[in-house]
Amino acid sequence: MVRTKELDFPELAGLFQRMTGDEKHTWAAASTLHVLWVLYDRVLNVSPERVDDPDRDRFLLSKGHGPMAFYAVLVAKGFLEPEVLDTWTEFGSPLGQHPDRVLVPGVEISSGSLGHGLALGVGIALGLRAMGRARPRVVVLVGDGELDEGSNHEAIALAGRLGLGQLTVAVIDNGSATHGWPGGIAERFAVEGWQTATVDGRDDEALHRAFITEHAGRPLAVVAAIRQETT
Amino acid sequence: MSRMEQAMARVANPMRQVFVETVSAAMDTHPRLVVVLADITADAFTPASERHPDRVVNVGIREQCMIGVAGGLALTGLRPVVHSYAPFLIERPFEQIKLDLGHQDVGAVLVGIGGPYDDPVWGRTHQAPGDVALLDTLPGWTVHVPGHPAEVEPLLRSALTGDGRVYLRLSTQTNTSPQPALFGFRTLKHGRRGVVLAVGPVLERVLHATRHVDVTVLYAATVRPFDEAALRSAVLAADHADVALVEPYLAGTSAHLVNAALGHIPHRIRSIGVRRDLELHAYGRPADHDAVHGLDQASITAEIHTMFTQSTS
């Protein structure tokens, strides 16, 4: 399953096209693209050889809708063969419109219904803590619209109070929440005791700096702001 | 809850006390066990929490989070034990049970109290007669319905050492004495006229109702998986394929499994349990509610006699 040569960022376009048949460049508009790339290329301590290593980092795609960028990055990093992309959403394919951890190696959670990944991430962080595994990070990707689900706010408050320093949330903020978040999304996390950073969601360097910010004893929220007009 | 109320609750809820003691002791020797609570019963786990501070997690009054956290713990390889009142454990976070446990393909031990209506003074909000029926919409759940506090520990120990999805349904309604065999259905009495299946706390009422009736009585403290083989054998050994199902939750919850077990045998079923056509806006005692739902002694006796001594088939 594992290839020796990893693919680079520009090659994601071709991988996208294998799923969507898209001849244009709408792949680049995928709001999660840069966050996923920076995480898998420079931040997460994961590899196809270590999908069951208890000390691996965990990436949880809570916002399971629109997983093409996720699948493309998994292919680029050797978790999946590119050929499997051609079967996307077919019966019998491991790849659907929402990812299933039972079907795809390297996919940590099955998602699709919004508002589940954060509590699962809190549970994983608590499990790692209970086992004395202080090194692995747990990174959960959510969308700003997804934060409408109240279940997130149960988990945000709990993670802050428990000081889960191993937990990081990446919030893709493309302004899709119907009623918005007055005062900004980061403030929702800050008042619960999280360390926060708000950066340009297409600026790889800024995202990288945000993800490696020291945040000992507190969970970290990185709000990746996506301005649609810059696509 | 005040200290005095806590103490009274312990005395009044021996199954819950067995649960707390069994899990607290098991945590000392099973490093995979993690208790997840949403305030309910948190005080009783204080000694265990002091010995294992990272393995008793009280999430506060956040039941969706409680199940999600349990799913995450299970994903790391730990064995979560999750506890609350049945309506807040099963009904409120039902999608989390479906997705954060089942769909992730991980297990947990859910321990519920209060169902179907252990303490009706709290009203409808604290009742969950539909809990077992709800879990029946999901594959892979083991459901234990102990009928006596002494039955709780062996069922719980089995659940703690496994990996599956288990619901342990505790009640303050209990039989006078425990049964020794708690997995599969146990035959307590042989008869020719048909079969009565009693689940958990209703056993004593069923035994009383069948004293002078020539029927086989089966007892289930574990109702999922449903022991189809035992039921089929009992039915085939009787002269009539007539089955009375007596369950301490929604009437007919297991009827589909009786039908599956007897798929090739023409049969009759009478389902006795909490009525589906009625929501009581009433307080009082469990016995008051049993009487309305037909789960009291007089109603069960009348139903059993009607089915097995008067009718023909």
pLDDT digits (tens, 9 = 90+) for A127-165: 999 999 999 999 999 999 999 999 999 999 999 999 999
Amino acid in the structure at residue A204: D
The whole-angstrom distance between B69's CA and the closest CA on chain A is: 4
Longest dimension (CA), chain A: 49
Mean local confidence (pLDDT), B203-228: 98
Question: What distance in Å separates the CA atoms of residue A222 and residue B116, rounded to the nearest whole number?
Answer: 45
Contacts of A100 in chain B (CB under 8 A): 103
The whole-angstrom distance between B108's CA and the closest CA on chain A is: 13
Q: Is the pLDDT of residue A175 over 60?
A: yes
The whole-angstrom distance between B92's CA and the closest CA on chain A is: 11
What average pLDDT is seen over chain B?
95
Portion 76-115 of B in contact with A at CB < 8 A: 76-78, 80, 95-96, 99-100, 103-105
A182–B contact, CB cutoff 8 A: no
Question: What distance in Å separates the CA atoms of residue A162 and residue B60, rounded to the nearest whole number?
Answer: 11
Number of domains in chain A: 1
Contacts of B67 in chain A (CB under 8 A): 119
pLDDT of residue A21: 82
Contact criterion met (CB < 8 Å) for A130 and B34: yes
The domains found in chain B, sorted by start residue, are 3-169 (3.40.50.970), 186-308 (3.40.50.920)
Q: Residue B224: enclosing H or E segment and its boundaries?
A: strand B222-224
A219–B contact, CB cutoff 8 A: no
B55–A contact, CB cutoff 8 A: yes
Residue A10 lies in a domain: no
Provide the whole-model pTM: 0.95
Mean local confidence (pLDDT), B245-267: 98
pLDDT of residue A66: 84
Q: Residue A113: enclosing H or E segment and its boundaries?
A: none
Question: What distance in Å separates the CA atoms of residue B99 and residue A113, rounded to the nearest whole number?
Answer: 8
Contacts of B54 in chain A (CB under 8 A): 126, 129-130
Question: What distance in Å separates the CA atoms of residue A93 and residue A127, rounded to the nearest whole number?
Answer: 31
Residue A5 lies in a domain: no
Q: Is the pLDDT of residue B313 over 50?
A: no
Residue A73 lies in a domain: no
Contacts of B96 in chain A (CB under 8 A): 116, 119, 151
pLDDT of residue B312: 53
Mean local confidence (pLDDT), B303-313: 82
Confidence of residue B3 (pLDDT cuts 50, 70, 90): low
Parent domain of A130? 27-46+53-66+111-225
Share of chain A above pLDDT 90, in %: 86
The residues, ordered by sequence, that sit 6+ positions from B11 with a Cβ below 8 Å of its Cβ are none
Assign B132 to helix, strand or coil. Answer: helix
Contact criterion met (CB < 8 Å) for B99 and A116: yes
Would you say how long chain A is, in residues? 231
The whole-angstrom distance between A192's CA and the closest CA on chain B is: 14
Residue A39 lies in a domain: yes
Which chain B residue lies closest to A111 (C-alpha atoms)?
Answer: B99
A127–B contact, CB cutoff 8 A: yes
Contacts of A109 in chain B (CB under 8 A): 75, 104
Residue A42 lies in a domain: yes
Question: What distance in Å separates the CA atoms of residue A41 and residue A154, rounded to the nearest whole number?
Answer: 31
B64–A contact, CB cutoff 8 A: yes
Q: Is the pLDDT of residue B69 over 90?
A: yes
Residue A72 lies in a domain: no
Residue A124 lies in a domain: yes
pLDDT of residue A209: 98
The whole-angstrom distance between B48's CA and the closest CA on chain A is: 14
Q: Is the pLDDT of residue B137 over 70?
A: yes
pLDDT of residue A229: 56
Confidence of residue B6 (pLDDT cuts 50, 70, 90): low
Q: Is the pLDDT of residue B8 over 80?
A: no
Interface test with B, best of A53, A59, A158 (most B CBs within 10 A): A158
Contact criterion met (CB < 8 Å) for B75 and A130: no
**Least CB–CB distance from B100: residue in A108, A120, A127:** A120
The residues, ordered by sequence, that sit 6+ positions from B165 with a Cβ below 8 Å of its Cβ are B101, B102, B107, B108, B110, B140, B141, B142
Which chain B residue lies closest to A133 (C-alpha atoms)?
Answer: B76
Mean local confidence (pLDDT), A76-99: 96
B165–A contact, CB cutoff 8 A: no
Assign B257 to helix, strand or coil. Answer: helix
CATH, residue A173: 3.40.50.970
The residues, ordered by sequence, that sit 6+ positions from A14 with a Cβ below 8 Å of its Cβ are none
- The alpha carbon of A127 is separated from its chain's Cα centroid by a whole number of angstroms, namely 20
Q: For chains A and B, what is the number of CB pairs under 8 angstroms?
A: 99
Residue A155 lies in a domain: yes
**Least CB–CB distance from A116: residue in B34, B68, B70:** B68
Confidence of residue A30 (pLDDT cuts 50, 70, 90): confident
- Would you tell me the crossing angle of helices B63-75 and A117-130 to the nearest 10 degrees? 50
CA-based torsion, A166, A167, A172, A173: positive or negative: negative
Contact criterion met (CB < 8 Å) for A119 and B64: yes
Amino acid in the structure at residue B150: A
Over the stretch A42-68, which tens digit does the pLDDT of each residue have? 999 999 999 999 999 999 999 998 899
